[in-house]
Each structure stands twice: as structure tokens, then as C-alpha cells.
């Protein structure tokens, strides 16, 4: 059986059952459109009142014709069809009627219209458009066939009353599963789809189901079939009398998709419950476990089977039990929801901090709580972190050092009590700015080096002075700037200021004590150099006396000796020279013995070093020690106190003289004093002797206070010298040499800041 007769058979059944005209028109048009020659079939009924033909069914409507629709009329076409019964579309397009204009606008020109009344009391026409090039002769046969079928509709095969009145899409199938008839609902389901796609709507095994249905004389229901995105549920009902099967279906797309989603959701929920790190549990209203997720093992050390039937309260900490249970019951009864934080006992005996959110499940009609669902999370780490933060906050609050919090824009956001006390800022006062707290130089250093240094290394430190915003004495502090990053990734800073007032006072006292020791050491050195100093002063004084005596003798012979006046003038000149030399020696001694505050200044190191050489020159000559001068004249100035630097150099030279005298008694020896520009903007000075040197253990102790290798030494010279040099920002070291000992001193160049020196 081909599909076109099936379509016609279904149309005739609908005609006989008197279904609405639109359904019959759709069935007829679809049957005709199964023919490959037919491009379009449209049925239009005659509207006697408006005198126009109107579309019936779901076929696409023609566009409106030209002119005023209220004046539209197809009366001329109606009369011609009554006369002729059939017209070519080309003839219709030439008529003066409304439909002709609509056909022209729709570009429909090849085909025919038939006078065909699907409704006994209502005329109508069937418009059949065929493909270009197809002959129109066979359409007359189609009209005759349709007219004959309409007239013999009462002689058709007995129809199924259930099929016609079934609101669900239905069809009759023969014993081989081939379609015989459709109802209007199925035709609506097919819509514009051709009958060739009907098997796609049926289950793939529908022929087997039809055979089983007839053989077993039983209905088969709940068979799912899917066509594109549409899901249908089919029921097959046998009709043994006519050996055919009524197949009914319903659109279950939404239901099946919902069930699939529900099944997937249940599977997903089960997967989540089984794999979540939170404990999901069900309880009776009094707290007894009904079920628990597998996380109970990892969190509490109990398997879910072990918890079922246990009271949850039995695991609570004793201090939490009394206050939590009744409060939770009241909240669940009243609000249906409760969150609590408490301690719960692990199987091995230790306690964990839990946060549990519970929701009440109520009975539908009475509203009574029948079950409680809880989600519990281990927050032990969070509680401990919060406790650590609280303790750290307390440490900051009670810290005696000022602590300031600073945001990324450089605004002070917090001052601890120590900072408020030192700065004189009350709780009610607004936060001071950094410009109010620091001098311009300190603030510039903080902005230039502090932020970047803290960002790079996490911490940055310097010395500065805090200025109370309300005025008053500045406070010397040692600053430590710490860079932090919040959970959101934003930077902020902590500034810890250690009050260095007492430290500064101790440094002043220590420096004063060191200056006293240095002055004492200079006095001791002067005493040790007394014979040399006396010799250096005695020579010019003796020369002054000799020249004075000679001048007196020449004065007595002025009258008799014409050269006496010139001799007297020459003597006075020599007296002046030697007296000046003696005065210079005394000036150097007075400068060396100067006592007072150290005066840091830019110094020409070569001049200071040569002055120290002159002070010990007599002692060196007396010991046959030659001091070789390898000092360049173009060294940049160093930053130091002149007297203290001269004292250090004199100490190094005298130690070298003693070492040479010990190693070469009564023999000539050499000391080399050199200087050069070193790395890191420094000047490196060296004093190398030809003495016995020192052993490795002695080298480690050579700068220790009161350590000495001399029988009559105090052991303070090198220790004090190192302290003086380090106070200048330099360093003093001793190095063993193949011959003798090398003392190396490094001093910073003048003009460097303290940070640059460091």
C-alpha cells in the first residue's frame, strides 16, 4: 500500500466522521501534496456574506490582493466555477476578482482550481499548483476522482469510532505494521512533514510489537520513540476482529527530559554526597543519626553504618552540649533552619571544631518536624587561625613599640596604643598623615626606597625620627617596614618603630667613653714618644740659641766689621725658621692631644697619614726603620675625624715599628704605607711591616680588648682602632703575609649617606 492512498483513506474517514472543516481540508491537501508533480494544494471555502473565498486549514495563506479589502469580491470567480467546474490558474488570474490579485502577488500561475464542496452546505474550491512543465490534463481526472470519492463516502470500510474521537495522536496499523488510517490529532502532529517520515515517529520495532500484540491478544504500552527532539510514548491496542492494531501516542518530551534530568541530578547529588569533604547527614528530630555521607570516616573516624542510630549529642563537647541542643531544637521548630559552631569528638578522642547548618523537613499537612538534614564542615583550622589572629592582635595592642598600619596609597589606617601614646594622638582624633609623622628627608627615603624594598624583599629597615603631629620633641626610632598581601591580592604595610631614645643616649655615652679612652691613649702615646718629641723640639731651640749668640757677637763688631750687619740679619732669619719649626711641633702635639666632641669632616687622607708619619719619625729612625711612603696625592677625600684617624694610623705605625725592631734588632728594616681607591666608593689604606707576624689563632684574637703580645702592653690599641674606624663607617682587618703582617683599613669617601655607606 502506497502512502498517498493511505492519506486519501484518512481524509475520507474524516469526511465521514464530520470532523471540523479545517482538519478535513488539511488531510486532503496533504494527500495531494504526496504526488511529486504537485507543488501546492490549498482549499478555500466560499463565504456567501462577504462573497470571497477564505482559506481553510493550516496551509500558507496567499498575500492580500490589490485595492481596498472591504471592497474585495470573488463573485465573478464563483459564477465561472459554477458554470465550468474547473478553471486553469492562468484564466483565474485574468478575472476581475480578489483571489486573482492574490494569485498574481503570490506568483502562482500553473495549475487549476476545482469546484469542490467538502461541506455539503458550503461551496468551495480546491487550488492545485503543479510544477512548471507538467501537463494539466491529468488534473481533470483528479477532480473526477475526488468528486466520486465524496459521493461514495458512505460505502467505505467501517471506520473506527475510537480513532476518530481519540484526542491523542492515533493511527490504525495492519498486521504487517503498515498504516491504514490516521486521526486528526496525528495529522496535526505530522504537520508539514511527509508521510515518508511517519516510521520515524513510531518505535523502531513497531512491526514486532504489532505482531506480538495480535498474537498475544494484549495491549503493549509505555514504548518510547524519539523523532528529532520530540519524544513519544506509544500504546498498541489489538483489534482481533479486523486483525489490526490501534496505536496511540502522547508527547512525553517534557516528562521524559524531566525524568532524565532528575535521574542525572540524583546521580550527581549522590556523587557529590559521596565525594564531598563536608559531612551530610540525616537525623530524627531528637538528634539521632539516620544516615551520613562517607565523609564521616575522614572527619570523625566513623563509617556511616556505625553512626546510624547514634545520638549526635553523644559526640558533643560537654561545655557545648547544654547550650546547643535546646537552642537548635527551638530554632528548627520555629524557623526551620539553624547554624551552630561547636566541638565534636573524633573517634580517637581529640575534639574538632564543626560548623553545622541544619534544615527541618516537615510533614506536609501537620507541619511537624519529621527529619533534619545537616551539612557539617570541619573549621578547626579556621578557628585556630582566628585564635592566632586574635593573639597577634593582642600582641600588637600591648606591644610597647609603636605599630602603624598603612594602606597601598600611603594612608595610616591604624595606630596601636604605644604609637598613640608616643605621638600624642587620641582615639577621637583623625589618623595623622605620613608627612606629619616624618621629616621631609625621612619621608623621601621611605617613599623612594621603603615601598620598593619591602615589596621586593618583604621587609625594609632604616633609622628615622618620629614627629608628634601636635608638636614636641622628635623621637629617634628604628623603622621596620613589612609588606603584606591580603586574601584579595591587595598590598598593605605594617610599620614597626622601635623607640631608640635610650639607645641613642647609650651611644652618646659610649662615644664619650670611647673619646675619653682615645684621649687617654693619646696621652700614653705622647708619653712613649716623649724622648723623640723632646729631641725634635730641642734641635730648633739649640739652633735658636746658637744663632742668637752669634748675632750678639756680630752686633759687637758692627763698627769694625762691615759684614756684621748681614750676618746678624742672616742669623735672625735662621732663628725665625727654627722657632717656627718648634712652634709647628708644639701645634701638632696640641692638636693630637685635643679633647672634645669628634668632628666628622672631609679629609685629605694623604695629609693625615704623613702627619702621623712625622709624629713617629724620630722613633722609627732610632730603630733604623724606614717608612716608605706610597701615598698618592690625588685620592678623593674621606669622611672621618682628623685626630682619631691620625691616632689610628699612629697606632698602626708604632705597632709596625715594634714588630720590625723585634724581628731585626740593630738592623735596618722597612715599613710600607700605601693607599688606593677601593671598590664600593672607599679608600683602602695598608701598613705592612717586616716583623715576625702572627699565628692563625693569634690573628683571630688580635682585635680582642686587653689581648697583647707585648710584655708592657695594655691590649687596647687595635681594639680601640677598630671601633674608631667602624664608627667612621669603615672596617679594619689584619692579614697574614709571607713576611710580616698587613693591616688594612677601608674608609668611605666623603659625601655618602649612611644608607649608601651600608
In this prediction the pTM is: 0.41
pLDDT of residue 272: 84
Nearest in space to 183 (alpha carbons), one of 198, 165, 200: 165
Q: Is 570 helix (H, G, I), strand (E, B) or coil?
A: helix
pLDDT of residue 508: 65
- Within 13 Å and on the Cβ side, how many CA atoms surround 550? 18
- Does the domain spanning 598-755 belong to CATH 3.30.565.10? yes
Q: Do 598-755 and 3-155 fall under one CATH topology?
A: no
pLDDT by 10-residue block (mean), the chain, 758 residues: 64 77 88 89 93 89 84 91 92 92 92 90 92 90 84 53 76 89 81 78 93 93 91 93 90 91 87 88 93 93 93 89 83 91 93 94 90 94 88 81 87 88 86 88 88 88 87 85 80 84 68 58 54 55 67 77 78 72 61 60 88 80 89 89 81 87 90 88 90 83 70 66 84 89 89 49
pLDDT of residue 714: 59
Contact, 489 vs 467, CB < 8 A?
A: no
Instruction: Say which CATH architecture domain 410-496 belongs to.
Output: 2-Layer Sandwich (3.30)
CATH superfamily, with its number, for domain 161-257: PAS domain (3.30.450.20)
- Does the domain spanning 276-384 belong to CATH 2.60.40.10? no
Contact, 10 vs 187, CB < 8 A?
A: yes
pLDDT of residue 110: 93
Residues 247 and 214: their CA atoms lie apart, in Å, by 12
> What φ, ψ does residue 752 adopt, rounded to 5°?
-90, 145
Which residues have a Cβ under 8 Å from the Cβ of 640 and sit 6 or more positions away?
600, 601, 603, 728, 730, 747
What is the rounded end-to-end Cα distance, in angstroms, of the chain? 106
pLDDT of residue 157: 42
CATH superfamily, with its number, for domain 3-155: GAF domain (3.30.450.40)
Taking each helix axis from N to C end, the angle separating 530-556 and 501-528, rounded to the nearest 10 degrees, works out to: 50
Contact, 705 vs 716, CB < 8 A?
A: yes
Residues 527 and 3: their CA atoms lie apart, in Å, by 139
What are the residue ranges spanned by the domains of the chain?
3-155, 161-257, 276-384, 410-496, 500-597, 598-755
Amino acid at each position: 500500500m502506497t502512502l498517498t492512498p493511505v492519506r486519501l483513506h484518512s481524509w475520507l474517514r474524516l469526511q465521514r466522521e464530520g470532523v471540523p472543516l479545517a482538519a478535513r481540508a488539511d488531510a486532503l491537501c496533504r494527500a495531494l501534496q504526496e504526488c511529486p508533480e504537485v507543488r501546492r494544494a490549498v482549499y478555500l471555502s466560499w463565504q456567501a456574506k462577504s462573497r470571497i473565498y477564505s482559506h481553510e486549514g493550516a496551509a500558507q495563506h496567499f498575500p492580500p490582493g490589490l485595492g481596498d479589502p472591504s471592497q474585495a469580491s470573488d463573485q465573478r470567480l464563483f459564477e465561472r466555477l459554477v458554470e465550468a467546474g474547473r478553471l486553469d490558474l492562468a484564466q483565474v488570474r485574468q478575472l476581475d476578482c480578489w483571489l486573482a490579485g492574490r494569485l498574481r502577488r503570490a506568483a502562482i500561475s500553473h495549475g487549476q482550481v476545482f469546484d469542490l464542496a467538502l461541506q455539503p452546505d458550503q461551496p468551495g474550491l480546491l487550488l492545485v499548483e503543479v510544477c512548471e512543465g507538467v501537463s494539466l490534463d491529468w488534473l481533470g481526472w483528479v477532480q473526477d476522482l475526488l468528486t466520486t470519492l465524496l459521493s461514495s463516502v458512505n460505502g467505505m470500510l467501517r471506520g473506527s469510532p475510537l480513532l476518530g474521537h481519540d484526542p491523542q495522536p492515533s493511527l490504525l496499523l495492519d498486521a504487517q505494521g503498515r498504516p491504514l488510517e490516521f486521526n486528526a490529532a496525528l495529522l496535526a502532529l505530522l504537520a508539514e512533514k511527509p508521510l515518508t517520515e511517519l516510521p520515524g515517529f513510531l518505535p523502531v520495532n513497531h512491526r514486532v510489537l504489532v505482531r506480538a500484540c495480535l498474537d498475544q491478544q494484549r495491549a503493549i504500552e509505555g514504548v518510547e520513540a524519539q523523532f528529532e527532539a520530540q519524544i513519544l510514548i506509544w500504546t498498541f491496542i489489538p483489534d482481533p476482529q479486523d486483525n489490526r492494531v490501534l496505536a496511540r501516542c502522547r508527547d512525553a518530551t517534557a516528562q521524559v527530559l524531566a525524568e532524565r534530568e532528575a535521574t542525572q541530578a540524583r546521580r550527581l547529588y549522590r556523587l557529590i554526597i559521596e565525594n564531598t569533604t563536608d559531612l551530610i547527614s540525616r537525623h530524627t528530630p531528637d538528634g539521632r543519626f539516620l544516615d551520613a555521607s562517607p565523609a564521616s570516616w575522614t572527619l570523625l573516624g566513623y563509617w556511616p553504618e556505625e553512626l546510624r542510630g547514634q545520638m549526635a549529642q553523644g559526640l558533643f563537647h560537654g561545655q557545648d552540649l547544654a547550650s546547643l541542643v535546646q537552642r537548635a531544637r527551638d530554632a528548627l521548630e520555629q524557623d526551620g533552619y539553624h547554624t551552630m559552631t561547636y566541638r565534636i569528638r573524633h573517634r580517637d578522642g581529640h575534639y574538632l571544631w564543626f560548623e553545622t547548618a541544619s534544615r527541618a523537613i516537615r510533614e506536609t499537612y501537620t507541619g511537624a518536624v519529621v527529619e533534619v538534614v545537616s551539612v557539617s564542615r570541619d573549621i578547626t583550622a579556621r578557628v585556630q587561625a582566628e585564635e592566632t589572629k586574635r593573639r597577634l592582635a593582642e600582641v600588637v595592642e600591648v606591644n610597647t613599640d609603636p605599630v602603624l598600619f598603612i594602606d597601598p596609597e600611603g594612608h595610616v589606617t591604624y595606630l596601636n596604643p604605644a604609637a598613640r601614646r608616643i605621638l600624642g594622638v587620641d582615639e577621637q582624633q583623625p589618623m595623622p598623615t605620613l608627612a606629619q609623622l616624618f621629616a621631609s628627608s625621612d619621608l623621601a627615603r621611605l617613599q623612594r626606597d621603603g615601598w620598593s624594598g619591602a615589596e621586593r624583599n618583604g621587609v625594609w629597615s632604616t633609622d628615622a625620627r618620629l614627629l608628634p603631629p601636635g608638636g614636641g620633641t622628635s623621637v629617634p626610632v628604628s623603622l621596620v617596614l613589612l609588606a603584606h598581601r591580603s586574601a584579595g591580592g591587595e598590598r598593605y604595610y605594617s610599620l614597626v618603630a622601635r623607640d631608640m631614645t635610650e639607645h641613642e643616649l647609650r651611644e652618646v655615652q659610649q662615644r664619650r667613653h670611647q673619646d675619653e679612652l682615645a684621649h687617654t691613649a693619646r696621652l700614653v702615646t705622647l708619653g712613649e714618644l716623649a724622648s723623640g718629641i723632646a729631641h725634635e723640639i730641642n734641635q730648633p731651640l739649640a739652633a735658636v740659641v746658637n744663632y742668637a749668640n752669634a748675632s750678639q757677637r756680630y752686633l759687637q763688631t758692627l763698627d769694625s766689621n762691615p759684614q756684621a750687619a748681614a750676618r746678624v740679619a742672616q742669623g735672625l732669619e735662621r732663628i725665625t725658621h727654627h722657632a717656627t719649626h718648634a712652634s709647628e711641633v708644639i701645634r701638632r702635639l696640641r692638636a693630637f692631644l685635643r679633647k672634645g666632641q669628634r668632628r666628622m669632616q672631609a679629609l685629605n687622607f694623604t695629609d693625615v697619614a704623613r702627619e702621623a708619619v712625622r709624629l713617629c719619625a724620630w722613633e722609627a729612625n732610632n730603630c733604623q726603620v724606614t717608612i716608605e711612603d706610597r701615598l698618592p696625592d690625588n685620592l678623593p677625600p674621606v669622611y672621618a675625624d682628623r685626630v682619631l684617624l691620625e691616632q689610628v694610623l699612629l697606632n698602626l705605625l708604632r705597632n709596625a715599628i715594634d714588630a720590625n725592631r723585634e724581628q731585626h734588632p740593630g738592623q735596618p728594616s722597612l715599613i710600607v704605607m700605601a693607599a688606593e681607591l677601593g671598590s664600593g666608593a672607599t679608600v683602602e689604606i695598608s701598613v705592612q711591616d717586616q716583623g715576625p707576624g702572627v699565628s692563625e689563632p693569634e690573628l683571630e684574637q688580635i682585635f680582642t680588648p686587653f689581648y697583647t703580645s707585648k710584655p708592657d702592653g695594655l691590649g687596647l690599641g687595635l681594639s680601640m682602632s677598630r671601633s674608631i674606624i667602624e664608627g667612621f663607617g669603615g672596617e679594619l682587618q689584619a692579614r697574614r703575609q709571607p713576611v710580616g703582617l698587613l693591616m688594612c683599613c677601608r674608609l668611605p669617601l666623603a659625601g655618602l649617606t649612611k644608607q649608601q655607606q651600608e
